């Protein structure tokens, strides 16, 4: 009887843990022909007033938001056009300023994207624990043998970044109580 009870408890624990994380994300194919960047593109008062994170989050309420990342065959970095070997997102620290209670995952799950993938996705999920306006930044590393002329085959980029035209702006995540509304990134 104790074994059956223990097995039932363990099964319930595994099912509960699995339901707390998303099954993964699917990139939005509408960005297939876009330039290198993260989509939806960030909010920018002049260039993209409808961009950024449109969905507000509520304290202690499940939240889910997905970006699509376009992985190009080549990209311009520091005035050089380089062939992209791969792009990597780290398991920790890839999104800075993320509110407590939110986590992230990506697809492909290895965090290593190649031009053959073309599109990848990055999802934030969970239940934020504090109200506020969070200016999110996405850090990724671009790998290319062409970068060796600069001393390394890796270039770390923190997006949004004006060096990459499709990434200039802000990703502001507004977290409020369910009955209150914080200003959106258009009002900050």
What pTM was estimated for this model as a whole? 0.78
- How high does pLDDT run on average in the chain? 82
Identify the pLDDT of residue 116: 87
Q: What digits encode the pLDDT tens for the residues 103-118?
A: 999 999 999 999 988 8
113 vs 121: CA distance, rounded Å: 10
Q: Give pLDDT, residue 46.
A: 87
Between these two residues, 143 and 8, which has the higher pLDDT value? 143
Dist. CA 179–CA 15, nearest whole Å = 31
Which of 37-41, 149-153, 166-170 is predicted least confidently? 166-170
Give residue 44's pLDDT band: very low, low, confident or very high (50, 70, 90).
Answer: confident
Residues 6 or more apart in contact with residue 36 via CB below 8 angstroms: 70, 71, 72, 75, 164, 166
């Amino acid at each position: 009887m104790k074994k059956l009870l223990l097995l039932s408890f363990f099964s319930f624990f595994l099912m509960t843990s699995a339901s707390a994380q998303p099954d993964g994300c699917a990139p939005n194919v509408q960005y297939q022909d876009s330039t290198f960047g993260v989509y939806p593109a960030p909010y920018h008062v002049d260039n993209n007033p409808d961009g950024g994170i449109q969905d507000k989050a509520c304290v202690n309420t499940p939240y889910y938001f997905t970006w699509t990342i376009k992985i190009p065959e080549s990209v311009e970095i520091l005035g050089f056009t380089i062939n992209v070997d791969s792009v990597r997102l780290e398991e920790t620290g890839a999104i800075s300023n993320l509110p407590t209670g939110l986590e992230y995952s990506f697809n492909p799950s290895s965090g290593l994207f190649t031009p053959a993938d073309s599109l990848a996705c990055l999802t934030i999920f969970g239940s934020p624990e504090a109200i506020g306006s969070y200016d999110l930044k996405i850090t990724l590393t671009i790998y290319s043998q062409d970068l060796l002329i600069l001393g390394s085959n890796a270039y770390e980029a923190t997006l949004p970044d004006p060096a990459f035209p499709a990434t200039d702006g802000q990703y502001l995540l507004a977290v409020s109580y369910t009955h209150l509304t914080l200003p959106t990134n258009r009002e900050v």
